């Protein structure tokens, strides 16, 4: 999850009254619910990966903030490709 720094004080305050839950995603949801805030999906988070045929396509990943299941050499290759000034998508 990603949230604005302006939300931090409110999260801290509500965490003082919402009972702790040991799974971070669940607890964050509990805090957000207590604040009346609904999460918004962002397409830049590819938590379940992309189609197999698109895994090496730099243009598919250009707008991503997060991807999983990549080895360090794959990440470096993707980073170089995304930052290539000659890249056209």
pLDDT of residue 47: 67
Distances from the Cα of 23 to the Cαs of 8, 9, 14, 27, 30, in angstroms?
19, 21, 17, 6, 11
- Interstrand relation of 45-46 and 66-67 (parallel, antiparallel or unpaired): parallel
For range 29-46, the mean pLDDT: 88
pLDDT in tens, 38-85: 988 877 777 677 788 888 888 988 888 877 788 999 889 999 999 999
Note the residue count of the chain: 89
Which sequence spans correspond to the domains of the chain? 5-35, 45-82
Question: Residue 49: which of 31, 68, 30, 32 has the closest Cα?
Answer: 68
pTM as predicted: 0.61
d(CA 36, CA 54): 37
CA 19 to chain centre: 25
Question: Residue 32: which of 65, 49, 63, 8 has the closest Cα?
Answer: 8
């Amino acid at each position: 999850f990603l949230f604005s720094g302006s939300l931090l004080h409110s999260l801290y305050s509500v965490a003082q009254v919402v009972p702790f839950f040991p799974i971070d995603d669940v607890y964050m949801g509990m805090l957000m619910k207590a604040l009346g805030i609904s999460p918004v999906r962002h397409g830049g988070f590819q938590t379940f990966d992309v189609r197999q045929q698109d895994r090496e396509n730099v243009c598919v990943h250009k707008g991503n903030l997060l991807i999983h299941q990549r080895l360090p050499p794959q990440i470096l290759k993707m980073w170089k490709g995304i930052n290539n000034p000659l890249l056209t998508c």
